[in-house]
Structure 1
Amino acid sequence: MLRATRILRAGALSGGEIIDRVVLDHGDRHRRRTAMRGVGGTAFLLDLAEPAMLDDGDALVLEDGRLVWVEAAPERLLEIQAPDEHALRRLIWHIGNRHIPAEIGPDAVWIGYDHVLADMVRGLGGTAAEVERPFRPEGGAYSGGHGHGHGSGHAHNHAHSHD
């Protein structure tokens, strides 16, 4: 079976023949080794040296040099907003206290859909609207800032600082 052994990060893509794409939700974008099939039918084995977070716009490099584009799949989420910055911070604290993955934007927070948490947010004065979009949650304190919430390290060569 054809293997993909490297990741080209979105910012480092230059040239290369993109032959297919994989559409993966947040959970499926954290991988090391698994069989995959692109939407165009290309079957391959993702075979990385260690687990890595695949980001929207990355490409997997096949053994023959061709590329498979990585696309973040839309997911059912709650978009949480608040009437002011203090109220949003308070909601973020309550969400974080439940140890669930969250993507934090300047004016909203996104979490996986959960009707109980939607009710909690509304009870605390916020809004919780169901949306469908790619999910890019914050990493845990020990994950290097990437979208997976556990302490295992991963290889990367991003075009941003981890300071």
Structure 2
Amino acid sequence: MIRATRFLRAAALTGGEIVDRVVLDHGERHRRRTAMRGIGGTRFLLDLADATVLDDGDALVLENGRLVEVEAAPERLLEIRAPSEHALRRLIWHIGNRHIPAEIGPEAVWIAYDHVLAEMVRGLGGTAEEVERPFRPEGGAYSGHGHSHSHG
């Protein structure tokens, strides 16, 4: 089976032949080694040196030099908002206290759908609406990088 042993960040793509595309949710985009199949049928082994968070638009480099584009799959999420900046910060603290992945934007936070957390947010004065979109949570304080699509 052909292998993909390295990747290119979207910003570094300057050409190359894209032969297929893989559509992956957040968990599937954080891998080191796994068998994959592109939507066009290309089968390959992802075989990276380290577990890596791939982002939308990145490309996996096959041994023959061809590229497989990575597309972030839409996921069922909660979009959390609050009536003020202070209230949003408070909600972010409560979410972080539960150690769940979160994507933090300037006016909203996104987490994986969870009806219990939705009720908690509403009980604290925020809104929690179900949305479907790609999920790009923060990388974490101990992961060696910040936001998952700013490293590379």
TM bracket, shorter-chain basis:
over 0.9
Equivalence for 1:70: 70
Q: Determine if the alignment matches structure 1 residue 82 to structure 2 residue 82.
A: yes
Residue in 2 that maps onto 1:95: 95
Q: For the Cα contact (< 8 Å) 1:7–1:61, is it kept in 2?
A: yes
**Deviations 1:68-117, CA, capped at 9 Å, x for gaps:** 00000000000000001000001001101111000000000000000000
State the distance in 2 between where 1:62 and 1:7 align.
9
Please state how far the C-alpha of 1:140 moved relative to its aligned partner: 1.4
1:146 Cα deviation after fit? 4.2
Is 1:16 matched with 2:16? Answer: yes
Letter of the aligned partner of 1:135 in structure 2?
F
SS at match of 2:88: helix
Query: For 1:38-77, what aligned pairs fall within 5 Å after superposition?
Result: 38-77=38-77
RMSD: 1.2
Please tell me whether the aligned partners of residues 53 and 146 of structure 1 are also in contact (alpha carbons under 8 angstroms): no
Following superposition, the deviation at residue 49 of structure 1 comes to 1.2
Q: Do the aligned partners of residues 107 and 58 (structure 1) sit closer, same or farther apart at CA in structure 2, a change above 3 Å counting?
A: same
What percent identity do the matched residue pairs reach? 83
Aligned match of 1:34: 34
Partner of 2:28, secondary structure, is helix
User: Counterpart of 1:107?
Assistant: 107
Residue 139 of structure 1 corresponds to: 139
| Corresponding residue number in structure 2 for 1:153 | none
Q: Structure 2 length normalisation: TM-score?
A: 0.96
For residues 8 and 146 of structure 1, what CA distance do their matches in structure 2 show?
A: 17
Q: Which residue pairs with 1:130 in the alignment?
A: 130
Aligned residues: 150
Flag the 1:157–1:61 CA change in 2: closer, same or farther, 3 A: farther
SS, match of residue 141 in structure 2: coil
Q: Secondary structure at the match of 1:100?
A: coil
State the alpha-carbon separation in 2 of the partners of residues 101 and 133 from structure 1: 15
Cα drift, residue 157 of structure 1: 6.6
Structure 1: gaps of 5 or more residues: 148-155, 159-163
The residue identity in structure 2 corresponding to 1:43 is R
For residues 78 and 49 of structure 1, what CA distance do their matches in structure 2 show?
33
Q: Which runs of 4+ in 1 moved over 4 A?
A: none
Query: How far apart, in 2, do the equivalents of 1:28 and 1:110 lie?
Result: 18
